[in-house]
Chain A
Amino acid sequence: MLHNLSIGELGRRLSSGEISSVELTRHFLARIERLNPALNALITLTAEQALAEAKSADARRRAGESGRLLGIPLIHKDIFCTDGVRTSCGSRMLDNFIAPYDATVVTRLKAAGAVMLGKANMDEFAMGSSNETSFYGPVKNPWDTSKVPGGSSGGSAAAAAARLAPFATGTDTGGSIRQPAALTGVTGVKPTYGRVSRYGMIAFASSLDQAGVIAGSAADAAIVLQAMAGFDPKDSTSIDAPVPDYEAALEAPLAGLKIGLLREFFEGLEARNAALIHDALKVYRSLGAETVEVSLPHLPLSVPTYYVVAPAECSSNLSRFDGVRYGYRCANPTDLLDLYKRSRGEGFGAEVKRRIMTGTYVLSAGYFDAYYLKAQKVRRLITDDFRAAFAQVDLVIGPTTPTPAFSIGAKVDDPVTMYLNDIYTIGANLAGLPGLSVPCGFVEGLPMGLQLIGPHFSESKLLNAAHRFQQATEWHTRSPRGFE
């Protein structure tokens, strides 16, 4: 079936004229119509616009243009501003917000000819690890609809896993691409901080947020990342460095690759999960890689560090949502303070409020040094740990999550347990490193992810290692029942 084909194969068929982008787009729109109600992965469908874009992509091909994404459908996480299309960020606050411009990621993918089918559900303002904080209700995991898909890019991951689109965009502030990719059995890539522009991506924690891709394979992700990555003068933190040819590096042999096993990632890991990781290591050794144990002594501090830094930044970033210029405004405000209090009180959900309050607290006079400043120091130590590790090894490897997908509702009342879901992913965000998650097996019928983290700008190497793994395994080709 069309929806199980890789982006590379779809491109070949589009280019040979075997199929048109309009046909492809219709096929995916039909799948969304049939399958999305069970998943709630998409919250906005842009069918009409998609068909127009597909038509234009077909015309561009007829005019002689080529391009790996020309005519390929995608779904954008609803955190990216899309001109003329509602951009809600999963929040009541922006339920009525029609973005007046395109995010740079959207612009770039549009220019590459990719066709937007709609916008993906997500945790409210990307704050969550289960996609249960969305104003639009939870997303369900296609492998078991009583389970969460992970978050915050839960809609993107569920959509990619259910093959509602060949790929979806996501953002990763503390694991929001890798964790849901792992829990839904797809490939998720979080690039180096600054590799992909943040312009037009609604900010959660500016120093940690990074856009990336969720797709069926590392090879597909490489094609998409190629189009997304690059310097953007509109984002002062984007990095002006050439973008390597990710696809060209995919097939490089792994002989001599030094992979570090993160000791801290295996401590306390459940045996069945650990076994999957050890199986994956066997695959790597068979491909000629060397594995050695490395330690990041400060990594256990990453969750508390993150839960100071990220809320601090979010408390400030979300101040602009005040009911004055756009977004939710309470009915009949009596005065300015009432307007602020009720617009924000009614517009934001509980998790967002919890983080705004935490962030406001840690930045307050008298607490700043003890929390924010201390957290920044620990962040530096974690970054230094990674640097020391990368002096010995090319990549580090471990599980993406401690457990497979959990039941919807199981952790909503226990934020700390929920936060611990990101225990393995947050380190890469704090250090600004690229990381990815690939499917590496199943526990009780639910997918698990293998996480690879590399030095800054090592996306080529990471995608190469992931691609080689996927050539030797078939976990990434499995489809959830009912979504084949």
Chain B
Amino acid sequence: MTDWEVVIGLEIHAQLATKSKIFSGAATAYGAPPNTQASLVDLAYPGVLPVLNAEAVRMAVKFGLSIGATVARHSVFARKNYFYPDLPKGYQISQYELPVVKQGRLDIMLEDGAIKSIGITRAHLEEDAGKSLHEGLAHATGIDLNRAGTPLLEIVSEPDMRSGKEAVAYMKKIHTLVRYLEICDGNMQEGSFRCDANVSVRPRGREKFGTRAEIKNLNSFRFVEKAIQYEVARQIELLESGGTVVQETRLYDSDRDETRSMRSKEEANDYRYFPDPDLLPVKIDESFIDAVRATLPELPDDKAARFARDFALSAYDAGVLCASRELGAYFEAVVAKLGAAQAKLAANWVMGELSSALNRDGVEIAAARVNPSALSDLLLRIVDDTISGKIAKEVFEAMWSEGTSADAIIEAKGLKQITDSVAIEGVIDAVIAANPKQLADYRAGKEKLFGFFVGQVMKATAGKANPAQLNELLKLKLGGGV
């Protein structure tokens, strides 16, 4: 049996969050009625000309700086020529030989916690095409050109990934980054963030790459992983049964979980790229780059390193908290009020209760029903022993559904922890008296029964007994002490 090595490179298309299109003044907002956001330029009327949106260039440069890439001082728009009804000019304006961003890198964390650096060959600006619509049209195809001319940043990686999981980790990292930079909304359902995967396999140890297939238009992390898994299995099976992989473009069918051939290399278009004579080369000078650099936020890796260092968090926790800029900001706001000494508690709550509530209700963190200040108020009550961590979860749920403060809920529901040792002792005595058999067993060496007594006391106090005090007193009493 050959030991196969998987080789993957991704071409990620990130829709840039500009207000207007890359070469026209039409709006880029999603979901408008067909062809209402297409100007004469987007419709490719005779005589119209493209004018570059400087904001798109600024965003591309921002991305370049964030991956330590070279920002080209001179880049060129080229025409990619092919006929398709949703491509009104009969060519797509893209960048070919001279892209705006070259040679960057991005670190990803593998499942075992190791760091791997992925090379990014280039990132170039281009315009999106429109959409062909078939639904509800008998024997006809509708064309919606609202999306035509929407700016895209195509981010091309080196063939550095060795599994579907690595590919997903890389794609997620880029997804995090573009949202940090506020250059892409990352909305995968609406197609704002999607990728093509180049997949090949080779016997481990061989230097030469195998023939690759390109899987087009993957618009979810899950599909990326599943499509790659399927494609790898298909290629290995083909090779092991004596076949050869052909270079081709394939489509992933998520309903059937398989990839299907779309067109072979022979059928591929000759795009006849040449520099677009309607657009001047893009010249970028130091001062432009400096101005863009000044707008860079703290990047995810830097933020995670700072969290790990300043708050004594594990690399994993820090990474999770930094997966989105908003989550990191939420966490920091909680810590600011609660104090850095309780950062681990804050991290557990943000990654735990808060994240599950957000997921459960499908809301963005900005719309969380418990804000950072309210959450820190709740956590303060754990810290000052007013309530236990367990009770705090109950309080959190009430805060989430009622939108009131932790203190108000603790007060209204009488959830304040019992820290009066006399009161706790009274309950313990009653529990012991009611369970003579268990007491005897415990004293005979069945120490596991300690948990039973804790449970009984908690039940009797509705969970409000201070757990540390309870433990201490119970140990004494069961041991025959006071």
Contact = CB atoms under 8 A, between A and B. Distances in A.
A237 interface: yes
Contacts of B277: 205-207, 237, 313
Contacts of B83: 319, 322, 340
B274 A312 contact: yes
Interface string A285-322: 00000000000000000000000000011011011111
B408 interface: no
A325 B44 contact: yes
Given A319-B90, A324-B143, A336-B85, A200 B272 contact: no
Contact of B46 (A87, A206, A316): A87
Candidate in B46, B51, B81, B85 with the most chain A CB atoms within 10 angstroms: B46
Contact of B52 (A80, A199, A236, A327): A236
Contacts of B274: 312, 316, 363, 368, 372
B47 A100 contact: no
Contacts of A327: 46
A237 B88 CA distance: 22
Contacts of A87: 46-47
A100 B44 CA distance: 12
B272 A320 contact: no
A199 B46 contact: no
A47 to B, nearest CB: 24
B48 A236 contact: no
Contacts of B45: 81, 99-101, 326
A145 interface: no
Contacts of A326: 45-46
B202 interface: no
Contact of A316 (B47, B51, B91, B280): B91
Nearest to B280: A236
A103 to B, nearest CB: 6
Nearest to B271: A365
Contacts of A81: 45-47
A99 B279 CA distance: 23
For the complex, would chain B's binding face be called helix, strand, loop or mixed by DSSP majority? loop
Interface in B161-177: none
Contacts of B40: 100-101
B263 to A, nearest CB: 15
Given A206-B277, A325-B43, A363-B272, A236 B91 contact: no
Given A236-B52, A236-B278, A200 B47 contact: yes
Given A316-B272, A316-B274, A199 B48 contact: yes
B47 A202 contact: yes
B112 interface: no
A72 B430 CA distance: 111
A174 B47 CA distance: 18
Interface string A175-214: 0000000000000000000000011111101110000000
Given A236-B51, A236-B52, A236-B280, A202 B79 contact: no
A103 B46 CA distance: 10
A94 interface: yes
Given A199-B48, A206-B277, A320 B90 contact: yes
Contacts of B44: 320, 325
A99 B273 CA distance: 29
Interface in A346-366: 360, 363-365
Interface string B27-58: 00000000000001001111111111000000
B122 interface: no
A372 to B, nearest CB: 6
Interface string A210-248: 000000000000000000000001111100000000000
A339 to B, nearest CB: 9
Contacts of B51: 233-236
B89 interface: yes
Contacts of B48: 199-200
A444 B278 CA distance: 43
Contact of A94 (B46, B79, B81): B46
Nearest to A318: B90
A87 B270 CA distance: 32
A80 B272 CA distance: 28
B49 A319 contact: no
A89 B89 CA distance: 17
Nearest to A326: B45
Interface in B279-295: 279-280
A322 B90 contact: yes
B46 A235 contact: no
A266 interface: no
Nearest to A309: B277
Interface in B98-145: 141, 143
Interface string B338-368: 0000000000000000000000000000000
Given A236-B52, A316-B90, 6 more contacts: A99-B46, A236-B50, A236-B51, A316-B274, A322-B90, A364-B272
Interface of A: 80-81, 87, 89, 94, 97, 99-101, 103, 198-203, 205-207, 233-237, 312-313, 315-316, 318-322, 324-327, 336, 340, 360, 363-365, 368, 372
5 contacts: A199-B49, A205-B277, A233-B51, A313-B277, A363-B81
